[in-house]
A and B are shown apart, each in its own frame.
Chain A
Amino acid sequence: MKKVDTRGKKCPLPIIETRKALKESAPGGPFAVITDNSTSFSNISRFLKDNRIDYSCEENNGTWTFTVNSASGATELTEAENYCEIDPPANEGFAVVISSDEMGSGDPVLGKKLMKSFFIALSCMDIPPRLIVFYNAGVKLAVEEKELAEILSELEVKGTEILFCGTCTDWFKLQGKITVGSISDMFQIVNKLSGYRKVLQP
Protein backbone atom coordinates (compact mmCIF):
# COMPACT_ATOMS: atom_id res chain seq x y z
CA MET A 1 0.00 0.00 0.00
CA LYS A 2 1.30 3.45 -0.93
CA LYS A 3 2.40 5.48 2.09
CA VAL A 4 2.30 9.27 2.20
CA ASP A 5 4.52 10.29 5.10
CA THR A 6 3.86 13.90 6.12
CA ARG A 7 5.64 13.77 9.46
CA GLY A 8 7.59 16.95 10.15
CA LYS A 9 5.92 18.75 7.23
CA LYS A 10 4.35 22.14 7.72
CA CYS A 11 0.75 23.05 6.93
CA PRO A 12 -0.63 22.84 4.30
CA LEU A 13 1.74 20.21 2.89
CA PRO A 14 -0.11 17.29 4.58
CA ILE A 15 -3.34 18.23 2.81
CA ILE A 16 -1.53 18.90 -0.48
CA GLU A 17 0.05 15.44 -0.34
CA THR A 18 -3.21 13.76 0.64
CA ARG A 19 -4.93 15.44 -2.29
CA LYS A 20 -2.13 14.44 -4.67
CA ALA A 21 -2.35 10.84 -3.54
CA LEU A 22 -6.11 10.89 -4.13
CA LYS A 23 -5.63 12.15 -7.67
CA GLU A 24 -2.92 9.62 -8.43
CA SER A 25 -4.21 6.49 -6.74
CA ALA A 26 -5.98 3.76 -8.68
CA PRO A 27 -9.69 3.47 -7.96
CA GLY A 28 -10.19 1.00 -5.16
CA GLY A 29 -6.55 1.18 -4.15
CA PRO A 30 -6.22 2.31 -0.57
CA PHE A 31 -3.24 4.35 0.57
CA ALA A 32 -1.90 5.47 3.93
CA VAL A 33 -1.27 9.01 5.14
CA ILE A 34 0.89 9.49 8.21
CA THR A 35 1.09 12.64 10.31
CA ASP A 36 2.62 13.53 13.67
CA ASN A 37 0.80 16.83 14.03
CA SER A 38 -2.56 16.97 15.81
CA THR A 39 -3.75 19.98 13.78
CA SER A 40 -2.91 18.14 10.55
CA PHE A 41 -4.73 15.07 11.87
CA SER A 42 -7.79 17.21 12.54
CA ASN A 43 -7.62 18.99 9.17
CA ILE A 44 -7.00 15.83 7.12
CA SER A 45 -9.96 14.16 8.87
CA ARG A 46 -12.14 17.12 8.04
CA PHE A 47 -10.93 17.24 4.44
CA LEU A 48 -11.70 13.57 3.88
CA LYS A 49 -15.11 13.73 5.60
CA ASP A 50 -16.24 16.81 3.70
CA ASN A 51 -15.29 15.16 0.42
CA ARG A 52 -17.10 11.97 1.50
CA ILE A 53 -13.99 9.86 1.26
CA ASP A 54 -14.00 6.68 3.24
CA TYR A 55 -11.15 6.28 5.71
CA SER A 56 -10.11 4.91 9.04
CA CYS A 57 -7.47 6.21 11.39
CA GLU A 58 -5.24 4.81 14.09
CA GLU A 59 -3.23 6.74 16.61
CA ASN A 60 -0.04 5.46 18.11
CA ASN A 61 2.10 7.55 20.43
CA GLY A 62 1.40 10.89 18.80
CA THR A 63 1.46 9.57 15.22
CA TRP A 64 -1.76 9.19 13.26
CA THR A 65 -2.05 6.79 10.34
CA PHE A 66 -4.99 7.23 7.98
CA THR A 67 -6.01 4.41 5.66
CA VAL A 68 -7.79 6.14 2.81
CA ASN A 69 -10.15 4.31 0.50
CA SER A 70 -9.86 6.32 -2.67
CA ALA A 71 -12.71 4.46 -4.39
CA SER A 72 -15.29 6.21 -2.30
CA GLY A 73 -16.68 9.72 -2.49
CA ALA A 74 -15.65 12.54 -4.73
CA THR A 75 -12.08 11.89 -5.95
CA GLU A 76 -12.88 14.29 -8.79
CA LEU A 77 -13.67 17.40 -6.80
CA THR A 78 -16.23 19.39 -8.69
CA GLU A 79 -14.78 21.56 -11.47
CA ALA A 80 -15.39 25.28 -11.30
CA GLU A 81 -17.83 25.21 -14.21
CA ASN A 82 -20.10 22.70 -12.53
CA TYR A 83 -21.07 24.60 -9.44
CA CYS A 84 -24.69 25.34 -8.88
CA GLU A 85 -26.88 28.20 -9.94
CA ILE A 86 -28.34 30.67 -7.47
CA ASP A 87 -31.60 28.76 -7.05
CA PRO A 88 -31.11 25.53 -5.12
CA PRO A 89 -30.82 22.67 -7.63
CA ALA A 90 -33.42 19.91 -7.65
CA ASN A 91 -31.01 17.16 -6.59
CA GLU A 92 -29.57 19.06 -3.65
CA GLY A 93 -29.77 15.98 -1.44
CA PHE A 94 -31.54 15.01 1.74
CA ALA A 95 -30.69 13.82 5.21
CA VAL A 96 -32.25 11.06 7.30
CA VAL A 97 -32.67 11.12 11.06
CA ILE A 98 -33.04 7.85 12.94
CA SER A 99 -34.09 8.62 16.51
CA SER A 100 -35.24 5.16 17.51
CA ASP A 101 -34.88 1.51 16.61
CA GLU A 102 -38.60 1.45 15.82
CA MET A 103 -40.48 3.17 13.04
CA GLY A 104 -43.70 4.68 14.33
CA SER A 105 -45.26 3.90 17.68
CA GLY A 106 -47.91 1.48 18.90
CA ASP A 107 -46.29 -1.92 18.59
CA PRO A 108 -42.54 -2.35 19.18
CA VAL A 109 -42.27 -5.58 17.18
CA LEU A 110 -44.05 -4.03 14.21
CA GLY A 111 -41.93 -0.89 14.70
CA LYS A 112 -38.65 -2.82 14.34
CA LYS A 113 -39.97 -4.64 11.27
CA LEU A 114 -40.97 -1.36 9.65
CA MET A 115 -37.58 0.17 10.36
CA LYS A 116 -35.88 -2.73 8.57
CA SER A 117 -38.16 -2.23 5.54
CA PHE A 118 -37.43 1.47 5.62
CA PHE A 119 -33.70 0.83 5.23
CA ILE A 120 -34.21 -1.70 2.49
CA ALA A 121 -36.31 0.87 0.61
CA LEU A 122 -33.69 3.56 1.28
CA SER A 123 -30.96 1.36 -0.18
CA CYS A 124 -32.95 1.00 -3.41
CA MET A 125 -33.30 4.73 -4.04
CA ASP A 126 -31.64 6.08 -7.19
CA ILE A 127 -30.30 9.02 -5.25
CA PRO A 128 -29.27 7.89 -1.77
CA PRO A 129 -29.36 10.27 1.21
CA ARG A 130 -26.33 12.53 1.71
CA LEU A 131 -26.40 12.05 5.45
CA ILE A 132 -27.88 9.64 8.01
CA VAL A 133 -27.80 10.58 11.68
CA PHE A 134 -28.49 8.04 14.43
CA TYR A 135 -29.31 8.95 18.00
CA ASN A 136 -30.96 7.58 21.09
CA ALA A 137 -32.09 3.99 20.50
CA GLY A 138 -31.44 4.43 16.80
CA VAL A 139 -27.75 3.75 17.40
CA LYS A 140 -28.59 0.18 18.40
CA LEU A 141 -29.65 -0.65 14.85
CA ALA A 142 -26.09 -0.63 13.54
CA VAL A 143 -25.10 -3.36 15.99
CA GLU A 144 -28.22 -5.47 16.51
CA GLU A 145 -29.30 -5.81 12.89
CA LYS A 146 -26.60 -7.38 10.73
CA GLU A 147 -28.54 -6.82 7.51
CA LEU A 148 -28.91 -3.17 8.39
CA ALA A 149 -25.21 -2.77 9.11
CA GLU A 150 -24.52 -4.16 5.64
CA ILE A 151 -26.96 -1.73 4.03
CA LEU A 152 -25.26 1.12 5.88
CA SER A 153 -21.83 -0.03 4.66
CA GLU A 154 -23.05 -0.08 1.07
CA LEU A 155 -24.56 3.40 1.42
CA GLU A 156 -21.31 4.66 2.90
CA VAL A 157 -19.33 3.34 -0.06
CA LYS A 158 -21.75 5.19 -2.37
CA GLY A 159 -20.98 8.40 -0.51
CA THR A 160 -23.56 8.71 2.28
CA GLU A 161 -22.17 10.22 5.44
CA ILE A 162 -23.21 8.20 8.49
CA LEU A 163 -23.00 9.67 11.97
CA PHE A 164 -23.75 8.14 15.37
CA CYS A 165 -24.30 10.31 18.42
CA GLY A 166 -21.39 9.59 20.76
CA THR A 167 -23.37 10.19 23.95
CA CYS A 168 -25.91 7.62 22.78
CA THR A 169 -23.39 4.96 21.82
CA ASP A 170 -21.80 5.35 25.25
CA TRP A 171 -25.22 5.21 26.95
CA PHE A 172 -26.11 1.92 25.29
CA LYS A 173 -22.55 0.63 25.87
CA LEU A 174 -21.81 0.20 22.19
CA GLN A 175 -18.30 1.68 22.21
CA GLY A 176 -16.12 -0.03 19.66
CA LYS A 177 -19.00 -2.18 18.39
CA ILE A 178 -20.12 0.03 15.53
CA THR A 179 -18.13 -0.77 12.41
CA VAL A 180 -19.66 1.70 9.98
CA GLY A 181 -19.81 5.49 9.82
CA SER A 182 -18.29 7.64 12.51
CA ILE A 183 -19.03 8.78 16.03
CA SER A 184 -20.14 12.37 16.25
CA ASP A 185 -21.33 14.92 18.78
CA MET A 186 -24.43 17.07 19.13
CA PHE A 187 -22.63 20.15 17.87
CA GLN A 188 -21.68 18.48 14.60
CA ILE A 189 -25.06 16.75 14.24
CA VAL A 190 -27.03 19.98 14.68
CA ASN A 191 -24.65 21.83 12.43
CA LYS A 192 -24.86 19.28 9.60
CA LEU A 193 -28.63 18.74 9.80
CA SER A 194 -29.37 22.44 9.74
CA GLY A 195 -27.72 22.69 6.32
CA TYR A 196 -30.33 20.43 4.72
CA ARG A 197 -33.63 21.61 3.35
CA LYS A 198 -35.03 18.08 3.36
CA VAL A 199 -34.78 15.84 6.38
CA LEU A 200 -36.55 12.49 6.46
CA GLN A 201 -37.46 10.96 9.79
CA PRO A 202 -39.19 7.56 9.74
Chain B
Amino acid sequence: MNNDLLQFTESGGCSAKIPPGKLDEILSAFPLPKDKNLLVDISTHDDAAVYRISDDLALVLTTDFFPPVCSDPYEFGQIAAANSISDVYAMGGKPALALNIMMFPSLKLPLSAYAEIMRGASDKAAEAGVMIIGGHTVEDEVPKFGLSVTGFVNPADLVTNTGARPGEVLVLTKAVGTGIVMAGHRAGLASDAELDEAKLSMKLLNMNGARLMSGYGVKGATDITGFGLAGHALKMARASGVTFNIRMKDIPLFSSVYRLADDGCLPGACFTNLSYCEKDIAFHGEDYNLKMIAFDAQTSGGLLLSVPGDKAEDLIAELHQSGELISCIIGEAEELKGKFINLYC
Protein backbone atom coordinates (compact mmCIF):
# COMPACT_ATOMS: atom_id res chain seq x y z
CA MET B 1 0.00 0.00 0.00
CA ASN B 2 1.32 3.47 -0.68
CA ASN B 3 0.58 6.68 1.16
CA ASP B 4 -0.15 8.90 -1.82
CA LEU B 5 -3.63 10.30 -1.20
CA LEU B 6 -4.03 11.51 -4.79
CA GLN B 7 -4.27 7.93 -6.06
CA PHE B 8 -7.94 8.08 -4.98
CA THR B 9 -9.10 11.29 -6.51
CA GLU B 10 -10.60 12.58 -9.68
CA SER B 11 -11.17 16.06 -8.27
CA GLY B 12 -9.86 17.44 -5.04
CA GLY B 13 -10.45 20.28 -2.64
CA CYS B 14 -13.30 22.57 -3.27
CA SER B 15 -13.60 21.35 -6.87
CA ALA B 16 -15.52 18.49 -5.26
CA LYS B 17 -18.54 20.68 -4.54
CA ILE B 18 -21.93 19.92 -6.06
CA PRO B 19 -22.77 22.53 -8.74
CA PRO B 20 -24.17 25.57 -6.91
CA GLY B 21 -27.29 25.79 -9.07
CA LYS B 22 -28.31 22.26 -8.05
CA LEU B 23 -27.60 22.99 -4.40
CA ASP B 24 -29.77 26.12 -4.56
CA GLU B 25 -32.64 24.08 -5.93
CA ILE B 26 -32.48 21.57 -3.09
CA LEU B 27 -31.99 24.13 -0.31
CA SER B 28 -34.74 26.45 -1.52
CA ALA B 29 -37.27 23.77 -0.65
CA PHE B 30 -36.35 23.89 3.04
CA PRO B 31 -38.08 26.42 5.32
CA LEU B 32 -35.65 28.58 7.30
CA PRO B 33 -35.87 28.26 11.08
CA LYS B 34 -37.15 31.42 12.74
CA ASP B 35 -35.45 32.51 15.92
CA LYS B 36 -34.57 36.00 17.09
CA ASN B 37 -31.18 34.78 18.21
CA LEU B 38 -30.27 33.49 14.75
CA LEU B 39 -28.10 36.37 13.57
CA VAL B 40 -26.88 34.77 10.33
CA ASP B 41 -28.58 31.91 8.49
CA ILE B 42 -28.29 30.38 5.03
CA SER B 43 -30.47 33.02 3.40
CA THR B 44 -27.47 35.29 2.90
CA HIS B 45 -25.25 32.37 1.74
CA ASP B 46 -22.71 33.39 4.36
CA ASP B 47 -19.56 31.64 5.48
CA ALA B 48 -20.95 30.41 8.81
CA ALA B 49 -24.10 30.44 10.88
CA VAL B 50 -24.21 32.74 13.90
CA TYR B 51 -26.38 32.27 16.99
CA ARG B 52 -26.52 34.76 19.86
CA ILE B 53 -26.25 33.32 23.34
CA SER B 54 -26.01 36.59 25.27
CA ASP B 55 -25.84 40.33 24.56
CA ASP B 56 -22.13 40.27 23.86
CA LEU B 57 -21.55 36.69 22.79
CA ALA B 58 -22.61 34.63 19.78
CA LEU B 59 -21.65 31.19 18.52
CA VAL B 60 -20.20 30.83 15.01
CA LEU B 61 -20.75 27.40 13.42
CA THR B 62 -19.31 26.02 10.21
CA THR B 63 -18.21 22.78 8.59
CA ASP B 64 -16.06 21.84 5.62
CA PHE B 65 -14.58 18.61 4.35
CA PHE B 66 -13.24 17.32 1.05
CA PRO B 67 -11.17 14.71 -0.79
CA PRO B 68 -7.36 15.07 -0.80
CA VAL B 69 -5.75 18.08 -2.46
CA CYS B 70 -2.22 16.77 -2.18
CA SER B 71 -0.34 13.50 -1.86
CA ASP B 72 1.05 13.88 1.64
CA PRO B 73 -1.40 13.05 4.47
CA TYR B 74 0.13 15.46 6.99
CA GLU B 75 -0.11 18.38 4.55
CA PHE B 76 -3.67 17.40 3.65
CA GLY B 77 -4.60 17.55 7.34
CA GLN B 78 -3.04 21.00 7.69
CA ILE B 79 -4.77 22.40 4.60
CA ALA B 80 -8.18 20.90 5.45
CA ALA B 81 -7.99 22.34 8.97
CA ALA B 82 -6.95 25.80 7.76
CA ASN B 83 -9.78 25.71 5.23
CA SER B 84 -12.43 24.72 7.78
CA ILE B 85 -11.32 27.25 10.39
CA SER B 86 -11.21 30.05 7.82
CA ASP B 87 -15.00 30.45 7.73
CA VAL B 88 -15.01 31.54 11.38
CA TYR B 89 -12.37 34.17 10.61
CA ALA B 90 -14.48 35.38 7.67
CA MET B 91 -17.23 36.31 10.16
CA GLY B 92 -14.79 38.30 12.30
CA GLY B 93 -14.91 35.50 14.87
CA LYS B 94 -12.37 33.63 16.96
CA PRO B 95 -12.38 29.84 16.38
CA ALA B 96 -12.30 27.78 19.57
CA LEU B 97 -13.46 24.16 19.27
CA ALA B 98 -13.58 21.59 16.51
CA LEU B 99 -14.62 18.03 15.67
CA ASN B 100 -12.88 15.86 13.06
CA ILE B 101 -14.86 14.51 10.12
CA MET B 102 -13.00 11.60 8.50
CA MET B 103 -13.85 9.19 5.72
CA PHE B 104 -11.12 6.61 5.21
CA PRO B 105 -10.47 3.50 3.08
CA SER B 106 -8.81 1.44 5.79
CA LEU B 107 -8.20 -1.54 3.50
CA LYS B 108 -6.43 0.53 0.85
CA LEU B 109 -4.52 3.14 2.87
CA PRO B 110 -2.21 2.36 5.78
CA LEU B 111 -3.53 3.57 9.15
CA SER B 112 -0.39 5.65 9.47
CA ALA B 113 -1.89 7.90 6.77
CA TYR B 114 -4.97 8.37 8.98
CA ALA B 115 -2.76 9.33 11.91
CA GLU B 116 -0.78 11.76 9.76
CA ILE B 117 -3.91 13.53 8.50
CA MET B 118 -5.08 13.95 12.11
CA ARG B 119 -1.66 15.17 13.20
CA GLY B 120 -1.55 17.79 10.44
CA ALA B 121 -5.00 19.04 11.41
CA SER B 122 -4.19 19.02 15.10
CA ASP B 123 -0.97 21.02 14.60
CA LYS B 124 -2.75 23.59 12.43
CA ALA B 125 -5.66 23.84 14.88
CA ALA B 126 -3.25 24.39 17.76
CA GLU B 127 -1.70 27.26 15.80
CA ALA B 128 -5.18 28.83 15.65
CA GLY B 129 -5.79 28.19 19.35
CA VAL B 130 -8.47 25.62 18.45
CA MET B 131 -9.01 22.44 20.47
CA ILE B 132 -10.11 19.39 18.48
CA ILE B 133 -12.25 17.64 21.06
CA GLY B 134 -13.77 14.75 19.17
CA GLY B 135 -14.89 13.59 15.77
CA HIS B 136 -16.28 10.78 13.68
CA THR B 137 -14.91 8.36 11.12
CA VAL B 138 -16.56 6.18 8.49
CA GLU B 139 -15.12 3.77 5.98
CA ASP B 140 -15.19 5.16 2.42
CA GLU B 141 -13.65 4.42 -0.98
CA VAL B 142 -12.15 7.88 -1.31
CA PRO B 143 -10.59 9.51 1.77
CA LYS B 144 -12.12 12.82 2.86
CA PHE B 145 -11.31 15.04 5.80
CA GLY B 146 -12.27 18.30 7.42
CA LEU B 147 -13.54 19.90 10.59
CA SER B 148 -16.76 21.09 12.08
CA VAL B 149 -15.69 24.30 13.84
CA THR B 150 -17.31 26.40 16.55
CA GLY B 151 -16.11 29.89 17.31
CA PHE B 152 -17.20 32.97 19.20
CA VAL B 153 -17.91 36.53 18.18
CA ASN B 154 -19.26 39.62 19.88
CA PRO B 155 -22.42 40.48 17.87
CA ALA B 156 -21.20 44.08 17.69
CA ASP B 157 -18.08 42.91 15.84
CA LEU B 158 -19.87 40.51 13.50
CA VAL B 159 -18.76 40.72 9.88
CA THR B 160 -21.04 39.25 7.21
CA ASN B 161 -21.72 39.04 3.49
CA THR B 162 -24.30 41.83 3.89
CA GLY B 163 -21.89 44.42 5.29
CA ALA B 164 -20.19 45.87 2.17
CA ARG B 165 -21.06 49.51 1.40
CA PRO B 166 -20.64 51.80 -1.63
CA GLY B 167 -17.38 53.72 -1.55
CA GLU B 168 -15.49 50.93 0.19
CA VAL B 169 -12.38 49.32 -1.22
CA LEU B 170 -11.91 45.56 -1.79
CA VAL B 171 -8.84 43.97 -0.24
CA LEU B 172 -7.71 40.38 -0.92
CA THR B 173 -5.24 38.73 1.45
CA LYS B 174 -3.97 35.68 -0.51
CA ALA B 175 -3.04 34.88 -4.12
CA VAL B 176 -5.51 33.10 -6.41
CA GLY B 177 -5.15 29.96 -8.53
CA THR B 178 -4.88 26.92 -6.24
CA GLY B 179 -7.27 24.84 -8.37
CA ILE B 180 -5.34 25.56 -11.56
CA VAL B 181 -1.94 24.91 -9.97
CA MET B 182 -3.03 21.60 -8.43
CA ALA B 183 -4.56 20.43 -11.72
CA GLY B 184 -1.43 21.60 -13.53
CA HIS B 185 0.81 19.63 -11.22
CA ARG B 186 -1.29 16.48 -11.69
CA ALA B 187 -1.03 16.96 -15.47
CA GLY B 188 2.73 17.36 -15.25
CA LEU B 189 2.66 21.01 -16.32
CA ALA B 190 3.60 22.60 -13.00
CA SER B 191 6.74 21.85 -11.01
CA ASP B 192 6.95 20.64 -7.41
CA ALA B 193 8.22 24.09 -6.43
CA GLU B 194 5.20 25.72 -8.06
CA LEU B 195 2.89 23.38 -6.20
CA ASP B 196 4.72 24.14 -2.95
CA GLU B 197 4.02 27.83 -3.49
CA ALA B 198 0.29 27.08 -3.61
CA LYS B 199 0.41 24.65 -0.69
CA LEU B 200 2.15 27.21 1.52
CA SER B 201 -0.68 29.63 0.85
CA MET B 202 -3.37 27.00 1.49
CA LYS B 203 -1.82 26.16 4.87
CA LEU B 204 -1.90 29.78 6.00
CA LEU B 205 -4.59 30.64 8.56
CA ASN B 206 -6.69 33.77 7.90
CA MET B 207 -6.07 34.74 11.51
CA ASN B 208 -4.43 38.15 11.00
CA GLY B 209 -7.14 39.44 8.70
CA ALA B 210 -9.81 38.43 11.19
CA ARG B 211 -7.93 39.98 14.08
CA LEU B 212 -7.46 43.32 12.35
CA MET B 213 -10.87 43.64 10.69
CA SER B 214 -12.93 45.28 13.40
CA GLY B 215 -10.25 47.85 14.18
CA TYR B 216 -10.60 49.17 10.63
CA GLY B 217 -14.37 49.30 10.50
CA VAL B 218 -14.77 46.30 8.21
CA LYS B 219 -18.35 45.00 8.30
CA GLY B 220 -18.37 43.02 5.04
CA ALA B 221 -16.03 40.08 4.39
CA THR B 222 -15.92 36.56 3.04
CA ASP B 223 -13.28 33.93 2.36
CA ILE B 224 -12.46 32.69 -1.12
CA THR B 225 -13.03 28.97 -1.56
CA GLY B 226 -14.93 26.64 -3.84
CA PHE B 227 -16.92 29.14 -5.92
CA GLY B 228 -13.81 31.05 -6.92
CA LEU B 229 -13.00 34.72 -6.42
CA ALA B 230 -15.85 35.82 -8.68
CA GLY B 231 -18.36 33.45 -7.06
CA HIS B 232 -17.66 34.53 -3.50
CA ALA B 233 -17.42 38.20 -4.45
CA LEU B 234 -20.82 37.82 -6.12
CA LYS B 235 -22.38 36.32 -2.99
CA MET B 236 -21.16 39.27 -0.97
CA ALA B 237 -22.15 41.94 -3.51
CA ARG B 238 -25.60 40.41 -3.86
CA ALA B 239 -26.17 40.09 -0.11
CA SER B 240 -24.97 43.67 0.43
CA GLY B 241 -26.98 45.07 -2.48
CA VAL B 242 -23.98 46.77 -4.11
CA THR B 243 -21.90 46.49 -7.27
CA PHE B 244 -18.29 45.33 -6.98
CA ASN B 245 -15.77 46.39 -9.62
CA ILE B 246 -12.98 43.81 -9.72
CA ARG B 247 -9.80 44.36 -11.71
CA MET B 248 -8.30 41.01 -12.59
CA LYS B 249 -4.93 42.53 -13.51
CA ASP B 250 -4.61 43.63 -9.86
CA ILE B 251 -5.33 40.17 -8.50
CA PRO B 252 -2.25 38.45 -7.02
CA LEU B 253 -1.68 35.13 -8.78
CA PHE B 254 0.68 32.28 -7.96
CA SER B 255 3.64 32.38 -10.30
CA SER B 256 2.50 29.55 -12.60
CA VAL B 257 -1.22 30.34 -12.81
CA TYR B 258 -1.38 32.55 -15.89
CA ARG B 259 0.88 30.27 -17.91
CA LEU B 260 -1.15 27.19 -16.93
CA ALA B 261 -4.46 28.89 -17.77
CA ASP B 262 -3.05 29.91 -21.13
CA ASP B 263 -2.13 26.27 -21.73
CA GLY B 264 -5.76 25.34 -21.20
CA CYS B 265 -5.30 23.97 -17.69
CA LEU B 266 -8.79 24.98 -16.56
CA PRO B 267 -10.42 22.54 -14.13
CA GLY B 268 -14.08 21.70 -14.65
CA ALA B 269 -15.03 23.75 -11.60
CA CYS B 270 -14.03 26.92 -13.52
CA PHE B 271 -16.73 26.18 -16.08
CA THR B 272 -19.31 25.19 -13.46
CA ASN B 273 -18.70 28.36 -11.46
CA LEU B 274 -18.75 30.50 -14.63
CA SER B 275 -22.04 28.99 -15.70
CA TYR B 276 -23.65 29.61 -12.33
CA CYS B 277 -22.39 33.18 -11.89
CA GLU B 278 -22.28 34.71 -15.34
CA LYS B 279 -25.85 36.01 -15.45
CA ASP B 280 -25.01 38.39 -12.59
CA ILE B 281 -21.64 39.51 -13.95
CA ALA B 282 -20.76 42.08 -16.60
CA PHE B 283 -17.54 41.12 -18.35
CA HIS B 284 -15.22 43.78 -19.70
CA GLY B 285 -12.00 43.29 -21.63
CA GLU B 286 -10.56 40.49 -23.69
CA ASP B 287 -8.30 38.36 -21.52
CA TYR B 288 -9.97 34.95 -21.52
CA ASN B 289 -7.36 33.48 -19.19
CA LEU B 290 -7.91 36.13 -16.50
CA LYS B 291 -11.65 35.66 -16.83
CA MET B 292 -11.42 31.90 -16.20
CA ILE B 293 -8.94 32.41 -13.34
CA ALA B 294 -11.65 34.47 -11.61
CA PHE B 295 -13.80 31.32 -11.48
CA ASP B 296 -11.08 28.89 -10.39
CA ALA B 297 -12.29 27.02 -7.28
CA GLN B 298 -9.94 27.86 -4.42
CA THR B 299 -8.99 25.67 -1.50
CA SER B 300 -8.30 27.59 1.69
CA GLY B 301 -8.14 30.94 -0.08
CA GLY B 302 -7.72 34.40 1.39
CA LEU B 303 -10.17 36.84 2.90
CA LEU B 304 -11.97 39.35 0.70
CA LEU B 305 -12.59 42.43 2.82
CA SER B 306 -14.71 45.47 2.03
CA VAL B 307 -12.85 48.28 3.77
CA PRO B 308 -13.85 51.92 4.35
CA GLY B 309 -11.95 53.86 1.67
CA ASP B 310 -9.91 56.03 4.03
CA LYS B 311 -8.72 53.05 6.07
CA ALA B 312 -7.65 50.58 3.36
CA GLU B 313 -4.01 51.63 2.99
CA ASP B 314 -3.42 51.49 6.74
CA LEU B 315 -5.07 48.08 7.02
CA ILE B 316 -2.89 46.77 4.19
CA ALA B 317 0.23 48.16 5.86
CA GLU B 318 -0.67 46.39 9.09
CA LEU B 319 -1.49 43.16 7.24
CA HIS B 320 1.94 43.31 5.57
CA GLN B 321 3.58 43.89 8.92
CA SER B 322 1.85 40.84 10.35
CA GLY B 323 3.15 38.68 7.51
CA GLU B 324 0.22 38.82 5.06
CA LEU B 325 2.51 40.15 2.36
CA ILE B 326 0.19 39.41 -0.57
CA SER B 327 -2.64 41.66 0.69
CA CYS B 328 -3.63 44.28 -1.85
CA ILE B 329 -6.51 46.29 -3.26
CA ILE B 330 -8.35 44.55 -6.11
CA GLY B 331 -11.32 46.80 -6.68
CA GLU B 332 -14.08 48.74 -5.03
CA ALA B 333 -17.75 48.71 -4.08
CA GLU B 334 -20.22 51.20 -5.53
CA GLU B 335 -23.97 51.80 -5.58
CA LEU B 336 -25.77 48.93 -7.26
CA LYS B 337 -25.99 49.73 -10.96
CA GLY B 338 -26.68 46.98 -13.46
CA LYS B 339 -24.94 43.76 -12.50
CA PHE B 340 -23.62 42.85 -9.06
CA ILE B 341 -20.10 42.40 -10.43
CA ASN B 342 -18.13 44.25 -13.11
CA LEU B 343 -15.22 41.96 -13.94
CA TYR B 344 -12.43 43.74 -15.80
CA CYS B 345 -10.19 41.30 -17.65
Residues of A at the B interface (CB closer than 8 Å) are: 10-13, 15-20, 39, 42-43, 46-47, 50-51, 74, 77-78, 80, 82-84, 86, 88-89, 92, 187, 190-191, 194-195
Residues of B at the A interface (CB closer than 8 Å) are: 10-11, 183, 187, 189, 245, 247-249, 258, 262-268, 271, 274-275, 278-279, 282-291, 338-339, 344-345
Q: Please, how many angstroms separate the alpha-carbon atoms of A4 and B284 in the complex?
A: 32
Name the distance in Å between B200's Cβ and chain A's nearest Cβ.
Answer: 23
Contact of A83 among B183, B267, B286, B338 (CB under 8 A): B286
5 A-B pairs closest in CB distance: A19-B264, A84-B285, A83-B287, A16-B264, A11-B268
Q: Which residues of A contact B268 (CB under 8 A)?
A: 11-12, 39, 43
Q: Which residues of B contact A86 (CB under 8 A)?
A: 245, 247, 344
Q: Are A43 and B271 in contact (CB under 8 A)?
A: yes
Mostly, the A contact residues are: helix
Contact of B10 among A10, A16, A82 (CB under 8 A): A10
Q: Which residues of B contact A92 (CB under 8 A)?
A: 284
Q: Please, how many angstroms separate the alpha-carbon atoms of A39 and B265 in the complex?
A: 15
Contact of A80 among B275, B279, B287, B338 (CB under 8 A): B287
Q: Are A11 and B288 in contact (CB under 8 A)?
A: no
Q: Please, how many angstroms separate the alpha-carbon atoms of A118 and B245 in the complex?
A: 36
Q: Please, how many angstroms separate the alpha-carbon atoms of A88 and B283 in the complex?
A: 11
Q: Which residues of A contact B285 (CB under 8 A)?
A: 83-84, 89
Q: Which residues of A contact B10 (CB under 8 A)?
A: 10-11
Starting from the known contacts A11-B268, A16-B187, A83-B286, 12 additional A-B residue pairs (CB-CB under 8 Å) come to A12-B264, A13-B187, A16-B263, A20-B263, A46-B274, A50-B288, A82-B286, A83-B285, A83-B345, A89-B285, A92-B284, A195-B282
Q: Are B288 and A12 in contact (CB under 8 A)?
A: no
Name the distance in Å between B87's Cβ and chain A's nearest Cβ.
Answer: 27
Contact of B339 among A42, A77, A194 (CB under 8 A): A194
Known: A16-B189, A39-B268. A77 touches B248 (CB 8 A): no
- 9 CB contacts below 8 A, A to B, read A10-B10, A12-B187, A12-B268, A15-B265, A47-B264, A77-B287, A82-B286, A83-B248, A187-B279
Q: Which residues of A contact B189 (CB under 8 A)?
A: 16
Q: Are A78 and B287 in contact (CB under 8 A)?
A: yes
Q: Which residues of A contact B344 (CB under 8 A)?
A: 83-84, 86
Known: A83-B287, A191-B279. A77 touches B262 (CB 8 A): yes
Q: Are B345 and A46 in contact (CB under 8 A)?
A: no
Known: A84-B344, A190-B279, A191-B278. A12 touches B287 (CB 8 A): no
Q: Which residues of B contact A194 (CB under 8 A)?
A: 279, 282, 338-339
Q: Which residues of A contact B339 (CB under 8 A)?
A: 194
Contact of B263 among A19, A78, A89 (CB under 8 A): A19
Q: Please, how many angstroms separate the alpha-carbon atoms of A186 and B263 in the complex?
A: 32
